[in-house]
Structure 1
Amino acid sequence: MATIVFFASNPAETSPLQLDEEIREVMTKIRGSQFREMLQVVPMLAARPDDLLQGLNEHKPDVVHFSGHGSSRGELLLMDSQRRAQPVSPVAIRALFAAFSPAIKLVFLNACFAATQADAFKDVVGCVVGMESTVSDQASIAFASSFYRAVGFGASVQEAFDQGVAAILLEGLDEAQMPKLLAGQNVDPASMRLVSPVTAGSIHPVAPADLPAKAGDVWTNPIGMTFALIPPGTFLMGADDPTFPDQRPQHPVILSQPFHLLTTTVTQQQWSDVMGAKPWQGNADVREGPNYPAVYISWDDAQRFLARLNAQAEGSYYRLPSEAEWEYAARAGSNGLFSFGSDERALNTFGWYDGNAANAGENHAHEVAGKRANPWGLFDMHGNVWEWVEDWYGGYPETTLTDPTGPQTGTSKVLRGGAFDFAPIGASSAYRNHNSVNRAYPVIGFRIVRVDL
């Protein structure tokens, strides 16, 4: 996997830049590429000089990307603690990259006059992309997103650069805004690739025990609950639909650790095995059976279930997913309304909602796993019953978050996933609902996370 650390800086006294939009476009283009699982983007916003050292030490990137302002003297303008501009000279940047040579394969400077910087350190990295003079937001975004999309399809650095240039021209932008590609000694951009398909000659037998865990690998606990492995990664959380302001702003989230998520909502059988009592019993709007979801479960009830399950567990700890973990797992690497795209007509194949349940004379939750799973092996992430998550309900921040857990306090907890009596939009990956911790309804259940102790 190739790691791209994406530094961005827009000091207070400089002209505003669309840095969030650039990150979104880059990540969206990568997600649509053939080898998207081989590229990881780590955003580091509001970058200060020390953040450069931190990012390079922590993430050991193959690509260092900087978006922001540059000066005519070849400086990069980062931020100080007061968010004011702090110039970083070409000499300082060269010393930084020399300290991490030869691990860095590519430096991408999406800033005005960055070609001057590029000349200063091209001999200590593989390749450098820099802008010759001033450059517009539109040109920066068009070039960067097209460049990384090409990389994600296995293009060489030279081919990706050429596609980025073509994108600028296709947007009808000024040719004077064209970037410059420089290569270090004995480096050929036409043969350098950040990702590429595995060729037959490079395949070697691997013992099953040595195979890396991958998304969808399953683990089953002693009472028969099956969990799918969810790998760490980066995604865009939320949506930019003005109709639903609580989904905005769409923002990058980094989940740094893998976890296991129950492949279905907790079933009536699983609940009964742990708790004994059946809170849904006797309600006419509930179908009973071992594989139906446990419903009429409040958030507080879910916590009691977890406490009892953890008392029985050895080597595992169970909890509700965070809201970010839930959406990341629901998306399963996708960026549309649903894990299967944005066409609501396909929802019938993947979930229960008002159109094929409540409005069709079946106003109740259906057995779990009755529809198709998402690409990571999770059933009913779109529809059937709402699912509690750990977070308090609140607004989203305008910054990149790592392993977020939501607001510290609140009056209601988040519900995700839609339900059998709700419109298709409720089943979308980004849709948010919420309710008080003591509320229990026939449309509410939950699924759980398992982590190693």
Structure 2
Amino acid sequence: MLRHTLMGLILAAGMLLQSGCGGGGTQTGTLVQNVSIIVANYLVLDLASGDVEARSDVPNLATSSEYRRTKMVFKAISAGANGIGQAPGSFSAQADESPGTANVRKYYIAVFEMTQAQWQVLAGTTPWTLVNPTSVVGGIINSPEAPAFDIRQASVTQTLASASSRLGVVLDLPTDDQWEYACRAGGAGIFCWGSSRSDLVARTYAQVGETAAGATGPLIVGSLSPNGYGLFDMHGNVWEMTKSGTMRGGSWSDTLTQARSANKVTLDPQLAHALVGMRLVLVP
């Protein structure tokens, strides 16, 4: 479907470019922009205006605060198939993790977890400030570039629907398959880096209980190394809710076992939790 749409846009743009006159400039520009968005490696969304910029690369991603505050960067995940789940009898495998295959169409997923600043732009609320620090082992962190948390999935769904209508784009939570496909980044290991359970290896990618000694909350998003698809904090930091009604990836206060790529925990949509945040997908 996407390939046919892309080819249609390219052919239409080419025909208009060849015709060149009769007020076709605006139509041509729109079609070329649409083609650019569909084939881009990255999409950068301005959360206030809804403007979407197609990029081949985002060289200042690690250093620019705007990508953690007023804009959101989405990485293209190509259509394909990859194994999901975990073999019975392997490290901490659960009954609902039977091996299978995720077949996905191309989609765009945020490189960072939703930050507190970004949620404020979209929703205008600060639910994490209402959490009693003593109710969370180790405490919490309130920082514009730290993950947003303590938000009910029902509220997230409502906010994203409103924001999508206002901005003219489609923002959503990833499905279980989309999340695990992106997390694994083409790999077959227990984690995005493979199957090593070494703390030394894990701390390169994940803020979890074994690597977050003395932590008082999640890290600023993007503080650690990304996975093979260029996505940060897929393991640890905060659990990430999915459209499928689960939460994935573990948190800074949970063990590495909970952060396994295949692990999924059912999430009550009316429950707000200090260890649960989100990562968005964008449908251009």
Given candidates 414, 417, 422, the residue that maps to 2:254 is: 422
Matched with 2:100 is 251
- Normalising by structure 2, we get a TM-score of 0.72
Give runs of aligned pairs for residues 108-147 of structure 1, distance below 5 A.
Answer: none
Matched with 2:5 is none
Name the aligned partner's letter for residue 163 of structure 2: L
Percent same amino acid among aligned pairs?
Answer: 27
Name the aligned partner's letter for residue 339 of structure 1: C
Alpha-carbon distance in 2 for matches of 1:309, 1:373: 28
Alpha-carbon distance in 2 for matches of 1:324, 1:293: 22
- Normalising by structure 1, we get a TM-score of 0.46
Tell me, yes or no, if structure 1 residue 356 matches structure 2 residue 184: no
1:41-100 C-alpha deviation (Å, 9 max, x unpaired): xxxxxxxxxxxxxxxxxxxxxxxxxxxxxxxxxxxxxxxxxxxxxxxxxxxxxxxxxxxx
Cα distance change, pair 289–248 in 1 and its aligned pair in 2 (3 A)? closer
Alpha-carbon distance in 2 for matches of 1:366, 1:443: 12
The offset of 1:334, in angstroms, is: 0.4
Structure 2 spans left out of the alignment, 5+ residues: 1-34, 48-70, 134-138
Give runs of aligned pairs for residues 63-82 of structure 1, distance below 5 A.
Answer: none
Alpha-carbon distance in 2 for matches of 1:241, 1:364: 33
Matched with 1:38 is none
Matched with 1:306 is 160
Alpha-carbon distance in 1 for matches of 2:170, 2:270: 23
The structure 1 segments of at least 4 consecutive aligned residues displaced by more than 4 Å after TM superposition are none
Give runs of aligned pairs for residues 45-444 of structure 1, distance below 5 A.
Answer: 213=39, 217-223=41-47, 224-242=71-89, 243-255=92-104, 257-283=105-131, 284=133, 285-314=139-168, 316-345=169-198, 346-357=201-212, 360-391=213-244, 413-444=245-276
The offset of 1:246, in angstroms, is: 3.1
Task: Output the aligned Cα RMSD.
Answer: 1.8
Alpha-carbon distance in 1 for matches of 2:125, 2:167: 20
The offset of 1:435, in angstroms, is: 2.2
Alpha-carbon distance in 2 for matches of 1:432, 1:282: 27
The offset of 1:312, in angstroms, is: 2.0
Alpha-carbon distance in 2 for matches of 1:288, 1:317: 28
Alpha-carbon distance in 1 for matches of 2:97, 2:145: 36
Q: Which has the higher contact order (CA 8 A, sep 6+)?
A: 2
1:334-377 C-alpha deviation (Å, 9 max, x unpaired): 000111111122110001000122xx121412211010011111
Name the aligned partner's letter for residue 446 of structure 1: M
| Cα contact 2:151–2:273 (8 A) shared by 1 | yes
Structure 1 spans left out of the alignment, 5+ residues: 1-208, 392-412
| Cα contact 1:271–1:305 (8 A) shared by 2 | no
Alpha-carbon distance in 1 for matches of 2:214, 2:107: 38
The offset of 1:213, in angstroms, is: 4.4
The offset of 1:330, in angstroms, is: 0.2
| Cα contact 2:77–2:108 (8 A) shared by 1 | yes
1:19-41 C-alpha deviation (Å, 9 max, x unpaired): xxxxxxxxxxxxxxxxxxxxxxx
Name the aligned partner's letter for residue 432 of structure 1: K
Alpha-carbon distance in 2 for matches of 1:356, 1:245: 23
Cα distance change, pair 428–245 in 1 and its aligned pair in 2 (3 A)? closer
The offset of 1:251, in angstroms, is: 1.2
1:369-422 C-alpha deviation (Å, 9 max, x unpaired): 01001111110001110010011xxxxxxxxxxxxxxxxxxxxx2110110011
Decide which structure has the larger Cα Rg and report it.
Answer: 1
Three-state SS of the structure 1 residue aligned to 2:46 is coil
| Cα contact 1:274–1:309 (8 A) shared by 2 | yes
Alpha-carbon distance in 2 for matches of 1:246, 1:267: 33
1:276-312 C-alpha deviation (Å, 9 max, x unpaired): 1100114323211210100001211211221222122
Alpha-carbon distance in 1 for matches of 2:210, 2:110: 26
The offset of 1:245, in angstroms, is: 3.0
Three-state SS of the structure 1 residue aligned to 2:183 is helix
Alpha-carbon distance in 1 for matches of 2:207, 2:255: 10
| Cα contact 1:339–1:375 (8 A) shared by 2 | yes
